[in-house]
Structure 1
Amino acid sequence: MGIQAQAVIGALYGDEGKGLMVDRLAAATPGAVVVRSNGGAQAGHTVVDPAGRRHVFHHIGSGSFAGTATHFSRFFVAHPMLLLGELADLSQLGVRPEISSDPRAPVTTPFDVIINQALELARGTARHGSCGLGFGETIERNLRPEFALSTKDLFRPDLHARLVSIRDAWVPVRLAALGMTALPVELAAALADDTTIARFEADCAAYLDRVTLWPDRRLCERGAVIFEAAQGLGLDQDCGAFPHVTRSNTGLANMLAIAAEAGITALDATYATRCYTTRHGAGPLKGEVAALPGITVVDPTNAPNEWQGCLRLAPLDLGTLREAITRDLTLDRGGITVKAGLAVTCLDQAEDGFAVTDDGEAIRLDPAKAASDIAERVGLLLWAESWGPRRGDVRLYADAAAAKVAE
């Protein structure tokens, strides 16, 4: 008998409502484990539970309000410096999730953050759209075995020596490769301060107190699997518009690799999109406008910030959406059956006659029928639509038995 898993994938540039969908699926799947399949602490998945508790999930799986465990896969980049703060915030909301991690999951150090922020600041108006949390620099450093740091390495007796080596040997090499001869004063001070390493070692010790090592291959022993992707297909390192991409695969690729290890044989993939398009950070955005007629944008999560600026807007372009999902579904699945459906969110923000575009043509839609119209035009079954930020605002239509297997 095969093992089936569920997945939620952002169809465009992130901020599509992935957290909302994961929470809704988790509530319908008792005893599940949410698996972070890519990204790291730069994720921001907002969930509001039926009681009104609100949290923006960064590390922890978005099914936590529904009682799920969280697993960091080998593709997830852990950030001990930030995890503890998120756990403290969740504790105040009465949530203490069980957390496990594949031993191979990379770990961000303070030095990755320093390099990332210095580089993005140096780019000025040509910024790539980084969140400044060191994600891409962690991936870059881990390409060098002598400087790599994964979750299992946090147990090393020579952890301190490894961190000193990263600071004293890796950082100068990396800065030179980037053509950077000096750091901003504040970042230079943090780099030179020995307490930076001491604080990080304390964070790592606390991290290990909360996170259990558990290999991806034994995932299914933890419960029914719900994969939670970060960012969106438009930011995928292999498919997005370079350099405005993230250093990870944001769709099926990582999920299929994990599923193969774990013995999962079937995957129901929900591709999420708003009924309009947003992009937070630099990079191309087809049809970008200052304001969207017929849409009242409500987004308390994506406030303007110094790294990504203001949330950018455009009508939903069905051609872009269709192309991104189709490309993701053409990946080699290694014998794993994939069924795909669409979730359309933020419909409560749409007014009668709001427009999407397709092949340069503006198409006016009735919000009440918009989700099904969008799904039909994209060529997927409609599996879910949301009319607000809470779990109860999500209508699920997905029936795995009746779902169409992606060609």
Structure 2
Amino acid sequence: MQKNIVILGTQWGDEGKGKIVDYLSQNSSYVVRYHGGHNAGHTLVVENKKIVLHIIPSGLLHPNVIGIISNGVVISISELVKEIEMLKKHNFFIKKRLFISHSASLILPFHITMDIVREKKLGVNSIGTTGRGIGPAYEDKVARRSLRVGDLKDENKLSIKLKNIVDYYNNQLVSIYQHASFNYKIILKDLLKFKNIINDMIVDTTMMLHKAIQNKKSIIFEGAQGSLLDIDHGTYPYVTSSNSTIGGVITGTGVGPKNLDYILGVTKVYSTRVGNGPFPTELFNNIDEYLSKKGNEFGSTTGRKRRTGWLDGVALRYSIQLNSLSALCITKLDVLDNLKEIKICTAYQDINTLEIYTNVSFVNLENIKPIYETYPGWMQNTSGIKKIEDLPKAAKNYIKSIEKIAGIPVDMISTGPDRNDTILVRNLFV
């Protein structure tokens, strides 16, 4: 049956979306990356091979799936080509299966430099970006000066636009940040080299998707980052530069809401965050050390240690409301196997007024403390379990507690990094 499924993160990213996209893509025809850039990192384990993707849709590891990088994404062509070559080395071939929107904006070397020098200048007040040039590239898009993938088709037009934008950045880099200037001719030469590799991939992806919908093909829309990093609805200003909530699917692809059949929110059974910004349930004790080590909580893109905390039910409900989620997929259940007790934050308390909130926006998180409910651990191995009835009773009760707190069902559970370490509680395609 044709079904179009959105897979997005409900926390601060790193929820394990890549594995879930990979797992579900075996039943779909298309997988679409709709926002963000190579600041995302999706780690997949297939037949004991570890594959880390940053820009290519995760579902392309299945040979019959067509991948689309749509207009909402900002693209570093050099990183894209590196990823294509990496997949070839692992015997994953995507020729004639990967297509790129002509309207997607390009990330160029001066964007990366600007990202880095700004963060350095901010010092302790830095946002904690990945330093990949994502923010400056989106700024150019909004300012209507960005180079887009379609510009690669016309060398003369490309050269003129590139010179103008390089002049714009050189003026700032030299005068404000005392940084060396860029030579637009060197950047142009590299772009033309990469253009020859991806030229046949550049299409109108919006029209391609509408044709797929008309032909009743199943589509998976793959989110990057997480809802709490959304530029409009996240913990601003410590957010990403795109819409990681459900609206990003619509603007980032040109596919309307009536064509989205099911929205799956991916949630770790605990919380993590990379970079700066508020984190209500953050841990600073031996549980933090345990979760970091057992959960391998180091960024796929940056290698930075992730901050860890208990699952935040208040933030989860917020994400469910923002995204109109159909159900949850909870990941890394096996990471909790050795804990005697597990906590979930179910409310916030204002430390000044002592008022308690069960639903709250992320306008001001500095003056709150989390209120927890405590659950017994199961102290049994759940790694690799594929049927929900085989889970320990305490683990099943913990999942039911998450459902009660969230108000929506848990339809999938990940019990390990391999694509087959998955419990499908309900068939999402019927």
- Range of TM-score over shorter length: 0.7 to 0.9
The amino acid of 2:153's aligned partner reads F
> Given the superposition, is the C-alpha separation of residues 86 and 100 from structure 1 closer, same or farther in structure 2, using an over 3 Å criterion?
same
Check 1:365–1:155 CA distance in 2 against 1; reply closer, same or farther (3 A cut). farther
Deviation string 1:278-317 (CA, Å, 9 cap, x unpaired) is: 0011111112113463954345572599x78431111111
Q: Does 1:327 align with 2:355?
A: no
For the structure 1 residues 85 and 304, does the alpha-carbon distance in structure 2 shift closer, same or farther, using more than 3 Å as the test? Answer: closer
Aligned match of 1:212 in 177, 184, 202? 202
The equivalent residue for 1:392 is: 420
Q: Hey, what does 1:37 align to over in structure 2?
A: 34
CA positional deviation for 1:221: 3.9
1:144: which partner in 2?
A: 143
> What amino acid maps onto 1:42 in structure 2?
N
Please, which of 248, 251, 259 is the counterpart of residue 254 of structure 1?
248
Partner of 1:96: 93
**Which residue matches 1:153?**
151
Q: Deviations over 1:116-170 (max 9, x none)?
A: 111112222221021111111111112333x3211111112321222121111x2
Q: Distance in 1 between matches of 2:299 and 2:55?
A: 19
> In the TM superposition, what are the counterparts of 1:320-359 in structure 2 within 5 Å?
320-329=315-324, 340-350=326-336, 351=338, 352-359=340-347
Report SS of the residue matched to 2:132: coil
Q: 1:228 and 2:227 equivalent?
A: no
Instruction: Assess if the C-alpha contact under 8 Å between 1:302 and 1:311 holds in 2.
Output: yes
Give per-residue Cα distances to partners, 1:324-377, cap 9 Å, x unaligned.
Answer: 221232xxxxxxxxx610011011110342222211123224452223321221
Question: Is 2:400 aligned against 1:372?
Answer: yes
Aligned to 1:5: 4
Call closer, same or farther: CA 1:292–1:127 in 2, change over 3 Å. same
User: 1:361 maps to which residue?
Assistant: 372
Q: Which whole-Å CA distance do the structure 2 matches of 1:102 and 1:251 have between them? A: 20
Give the Cα separation in 1 of the matches to 2:372 and 2:66.
44
Distance in 1 of aligned mates of 2:198 and 2:178: 29
1:84 aligns to what SS in structure 2?
helix
Q: Partner of 1:71 in structure 2?
A: 68
**Structure 1 range deviating more: 353-362 or 385-394:** 353-362
Counterpart in the other structure of 1:277 = 271
- Corresponding residue of 1:54: 50
| Counterpart residue number, 2:411 | 383
How far apart, CA to CA, are the structure 2 residues paired with 1:88 and 1:125? 38
The answer on whether the counterparts of 1:315 and 1:355 sit within 8 Å (CA) in structure 2 is yes
Say if 2:186 is the partner of 1:195. Answer: yes
For 2:356, the equivalent position in structure 1 comes to none
The question of whether the paired residues in 1 share the 8 Å contact of 2:71 and 2:253 is answered with: no
Contact between 1:341 and 1:398, CA under 8 Å: does it hold in 2?
no
2: CA distance between counterparts of 1:218 and 1:194?
34
What do the CA deviations read for 1:242-276 (whole angstroms, capped 9, x no partner)? 22111111021022346764695342111011111
Cα distance, 1:193 vs. partner? Answer: 7.6
Correspondence for 2:305 among 307, 310, 314: 310
Output the aligned Cα RMSD: 2.6
The answer (yes or no) to whether the contact 2:39–2:54 under 8 Å persists in 1 is yes
How far apart, in 2, do the equivalents of 1:240 and 1:262 lie?
A: 23
Question: Aligned-pair distance for 1:391?
Answer: 1.2
Residue number in structure 1 paired with 2:387: none
Match of 1:182 among 155, 177, 180: 177
Superposed displacement of residue 99, structure 1: 1.0
Question: Are the counterparts in 1 of residues 74 and 105 from structure 2 also a CA contact under 8 Å?
Answer: yes
Of residues 285-294 and 84-93 in structure 1, the stretch that sits farther from structure 2 once superposed is: 285-294
Q: Identify unmatched segments of 5+ residues in structure 2.
A: 348-370, 379-394
Deviates more, 1:80-89 or 1:354-363: 354-363
Partner of 1:267: 261
Q: Which amino acid aligns with 2:374?
A: I
**Correspondence for 2:238 among 244, 251, 267:** 244
- Shift in alpha-carbon separation, 1:260–1:126, aligned structure 2, 3 A: closer
Show structure 1 runs of 5+ residues with no match. 330-338, 403-407
Structure-2 separation of matches of 1:364 and 1:46:
30
Taking structure 1 as reference, are residues 235 and 303 closer, same or farther at Cα in structure 2, changes over 3 Å only? closer
Q: What is the aligned partner in structure 2 of residue 22 from structure 1?
A: 21
Q: Distance in 2 between matches of 1:398 and 1:260?
A: 29
Measured at CA, do residues 270 and 138 of structure 1 come closer, stay the same or move farther in structure 2, by a change above 3 Å? Answer: same
CA distance in 2, matches of 1:261, 1:9: 16
Instruction: Give the alignment's TM-score, normalised by structure 2.
Output: 0.81
Q: 1:267 to 1:274 in 2, by over 3 A?
A: same
- Shift in CA distance, 323/289, structure 1 to aligned 2, threshold 3 Å: same
Residues 173-215 of structure 1: per-residue CA shift (max 9 Å, x gap)? 6559xxx61244xxx26x2485344223322332325x23133
Question: Tell me, what secondary structure is at the counterpart of 2:155?
Answer: coil
Question: CA–CA distance in 1 between the matches of 2:183 and 2:259?
Answer: 50
Cα distance 1:196–1:101, how it changes in 2: closer, same or farther (>3 A)?
closer
Q: How far is 1:109 from its partner?
A: 1.4
Q: 1:64 to 1:292 in 2, by over 3 A?
A: farther
Number of residue pairs aligned between Structure 1 and Structure 2: 378
| SS of 1:391 mapped into structure 2 | coil
Give yes or no for contact 1:131–1:308 (8 Å, CA) kept in 2.
no
Counterpart-to-counterpart distance in 1, 2:22 and 2:10: 18
C-alpha displacement at 1:398, in angstroms? Answer: 3.2
User: Which shifted more, 294-303 or 380-389?
Assistant: 294-303
Distance, in Å, in 2 between the alignment partners of 1:320 and 1:79 is 32
8 Å CA contact retained: 1:9, 1:270: yes
> Per the alignment, do residues 274 and 263 of structure 1 end up closer, same or farther by CA in structure 2, a change over 3 Å counting?
closer
